[in-house]
Amino acid sequence: MTILYSLIPTPFTMKTFNNTFTTLENFGHSMRAPSYRLRPKTPDEIYEAFQLARKSGLTVTLRGAGRSYNDAALNGGGIVLDLSAMNRIVEWDAATGFVCCEAGVTLEQLWHKVLPDGWWPPVVSGTMATTLGGCLGANIHGKNNFRMGTIGEHVTEFTALLPTGAQVTCSPSLNADLFYSMISGLGMLGVITMVRLKMKKVESGLLEVHAWPTRTIEEHLNSLLEGAPNYDYIVGWLDTITVGHGQIHAANYVHDDPDPAKMQVRYQTLPDRLFGVMPKSLLHYFMTPFVNDLGWWGINNAKYIASLRRHTFRQSHAAFHFLLDYVPDWELSSGRAGLIQYQSFVPKETALQAWTTILARTKKFGLPSYLGVTKRHRPDNFLLTHAVDGFSLALDFKVRRREEMSKMLQEFDQIILEAGGRFYFAKNSETTPKTALAFLGEETVSKFKKLKKRTDPDGLLESDLYRRVFG
């Protein structure tokens, strides 16, 4: 590939550019893409990268922490702009809860900054490694989606750099069309560089968690539906091997324990050694032998038996939200072929039928999911929205018999579409253009493409996901 290096100003010179060629992966290590990885530190450097792409005929994908389960932040053969170095918290007002951050700031940096002052990010993902830019690109939801909506609903303003070099400021009232489409827009309309958002006031470093078992999928969904109005957060675990068994965790903010020590990062932070001895970074090696049908059947049954007692306990914010971060690199335990996730969002009226059918289909294919997580949702106004007035079910699959797995997931898509459901572009790796068109609708897809023509007339921004779904 010939690059017109001489025309390129620093810092992306010929030598540095060539040295950036590397293979990037999705979170589950099941998808790979060799690409040029550039790490701009300023909007000017982002613009330089766009110029470089234009001159070299390469496309550009934005990447935050690369925690998407699929190819949203991959760009085979092209440039990947890794925005993780743009990670300054520029302004924090502990009196009002407004924070202004560069887009590469992670949720971990954010809660470390705000919790000691009595605030918490209003919406977080199941890992704190994600960046604000990535969270807005996908418009993430948390375990409180039914109450607080998506992260985009808490953004008061953001600044973005378009591939044309134009800088735009967007809010619900200023450039509103870009506000509602760049949030959820998968980095395909421009680069969000600065974000201003409002934190949630909390009075304690703890949440009060209520846990109870559910015996059938129907009971599980009813628990989510009826339980949600009484709690700040609700999430369910479904045993997807012994189908039906499950457990609900529902949590409320604590108001009667204003011990400031519990809001300190060191109280919340998870120890990095197990029993004070074994580094947790080694844990995934010990998990690997159990990541098979029998192993997970045993784990799920043990978990269900342990969950039979209805109980209440107090847990730190970090422990409740970021359980998956307890075991670093846990996804590696799925083995060399990696891990994928399939998350569907289905209206409350049709979810039971759809998911009963899907889980039966996993048995027919002999490809059970090892982990099923459910949440309660409400719709939102963002252009490529995934949410519905209903529930989501996220199914983790160890990748094997890839062609059959792919066929099975295509069958799932049909079942979900017939149920009036939607899909999440940060998770699913098999969504086809036909499925995307069916759930988004022609009007939305054409609006998205028109906006893209306006913000990115040369079509510089492309990702493997974009080519797969909208190409």
Ligand X SMILES: Cc1cc2nc3c(=O)[nH]c(=O)nc-3n(C[C@H](O)[C@H](O)[C@H](O)COP(=O)(O)OP(=O)(O)OC[C@H]3O[C@@H](n4cnc5c(N)ncnc54)[C@H](O)[C@@H]3O)c2cc1C
Q: Structure tokens of 142?
A: 């948390």
**388 is an interface residue for ligand X by CB under 6 A:** no
Closest residue to ligand X, Cβ-based? 134
Identify which of residues 121 and 187 has a Cβ nearer to ligand X in the complex. Answer: 187
Identify which of residues 170 and 221 has a Cβ nearer to ligand X in the complex. Answer: 170
Residues 37-96 that bind ligand X (CB under 6 A): 61-68, 72-73, 83
CB of 256 to ligand X, least distance (A): 28
Q: What is the enclosing helix (H) or strand (E) of 286?
A: helix 283-287
CB of 296 to ligand X, least distance (A): 17
Q: If you ran DSSP here, which 8-state letter would residue 374 be given? A: E
Using the rule CB under 6 A, which residue among 12, 17, 27, 120 binds ligand X?
Answer: 27
**191 is an interface residue for ligand X by CB under 6 A:** yes
d(CA 471, CA 407): 21
Spatial strand order of the sheet with 60-63 comes to: 21-25, 32-38, 79-82, 60-63
Residues 109-148 that bind ligand X (CB under 6 A): 125-127, 130-131, 133-135, 137-138, 140-142
CB of 124 to ligand X, least distance (A): 7
Identify which of residues 242 and 432 has a Cβ nearer to ligand X in the complex. Answer: 432
d(CA 445, CA 393): 24
For 294, other C-beta atoms within 10 Å of its C-beta total 9
d(CA 447, CA 438): 15
d(CA 262, CA 285): 32
Residues 305-334 that bind ligand X (CB under 6 A): 324
Q: Print the binding letters for residues 410-439 with ligand X: x by CB under 6 A, - otherwise.
A: ----------------x-------------
Give which of 109, 138, 268, 292 is closest to 202, Cα–Cα: 268
CB of 88 to ligand X, least distance (A): 14
Burial 297-320 (b: 16+ CB within 10 A, else e): eebbeeebeebeeeeeebbbbbbb
Ramachandran sector of residue 103 (left: φ over 0; alpha: ψ -120 to 50; beta: rest): alpha
Site residue total, ligand X (CB under 6 A): 33
Residues lying near ligand X in the complex (CB under 6 A) are found at: 27, 61-68, 72-73, 83, 103, 125-127, 130-131, 133-135, 137-138, 140-142, 186-187, 191-192, 324, 426, 463
